[in-house]
A = this chain, B = another copy of it.
Amino acid sequence: MQLGIIGLGRMGGNIARRLMRNGHEVVAHDRDATIAQSLVADGATHVESLAQLVEQIDAPRAIWVMLPSGEITEQTIAALADIMEAGDTIIDGGNTFYKDDVRRAASLKEKGLHYVDVGTSGGVWGLERGYCMMIGAEKEVFDHLEPLFDTLAPGYGDLERTKGRNAPDERAERGYIHAGPVGAGHYVKMVHNGIEYGLMQAYAEGFELMQSKGSADLPEDQRFDLNMADIAEVWRRGSVVSSWLLDLTAQALAGDERLDHYSGAVSDSGEGRWTVDAAVEQGVAVPVLANALFSRFSSRKENTYANRLLSAMRFGFGGHVEPPRQD
């Protein structure tokens, strides 16, 4: 079917490509026209404005917005709302806060427009592996767009099928779900990313523990000089901790066991934060998800006010002066 796509970066461009490879028709727009060129070579129609985009697509239209979450997505959707027609659908495939989805859908509904939120996981690998999608939408709208989702999803693949699924929704086994009404898709994707932070931090702590077991700070007879790359590799096979993140870890360590060229100032995006906020709102204890987030905060700072205050208190009650920082 026909789809408009706005935003042709890493994610949007590959989503367009995967659709076109499987027979869908893409009309694409990006503020940076040079980015759009390679898509045109792959078969897309490129348009220079939102107005042209709406003009080029047959009603009822579906336009997929794949932009950084926040202001730019908000503005683009508002602009589309002004020029699209009743019965058209705007899909937000980015990382929007789910309460913003709910608000937008209510506003668009007044104009007869539909809104769909698609939590999309797959990163730079999605073009080949397919995208895992969690979708919030009205039932009819979801049904109408399903051919697109089915194409973008990984499909059954060669994974062993889960036994005993009752009244299974086979879409889940092909890699996409209709999670619920508008907002539900991004809510599930938000938690997905919160979990991702926790998983990553668990591996990171464990590998640091093993790496530091060879440290010269330990007495010589208590050290082990362990091979991080081999450990990551061996755990990929038959161990309880095997995962795709471990595959990536093995890949990273294969060429560079010391990881020296990474700064270790780890960014976080909105979803990890919103997950903690949601847990606070719902009264759910999430010590692991929250501490994983806090570790990222700390990774980007040194010599914080909190730590200086600890030093000041230690001086106050015990006359302690801290030794200089380790580097």
Contact = CB atoms under 8 A, between A and B. Distances in A.
Contact of A208 (B125, B225, B304): B304
A179 to B, nearest CB: 6
Contact of A234 (B132, B235, B264, B311): B132
Taken together, the copies of this chain in the complex come to 4
A181 interface: yes
Q: Give the residue among A201, A212, A326 with the most B Cβ atoms within 10 A.
A: A201
Contacts of A201: 198, 202, 287-288, 306, 310
Nearest to A274: B280
A239 B206 contact: no
A215 interface: yes
What secondary structure prevails in chain A residues at the interface with B? helix
A187 interface: yes
A264 B304 contact: yes
A230 B122 contact: no
A107 interface: no
A208 B307 CA distance: 9
Contact of A237 (B174, B181, B323): B174
A314 interface: yes
Interface in A179-226: 179-181, 183-184, 187-188, 191-213, 215, 217-218, 224-226
Contacts of A126: 238
A223 to B, nearest CB: 9
Contacts of A307: 204, 262, 264-266, 295, 299
A109 interface: no
Interface in A271-327: 273, 275-320, 322-327
Contacts of A217: 282-283
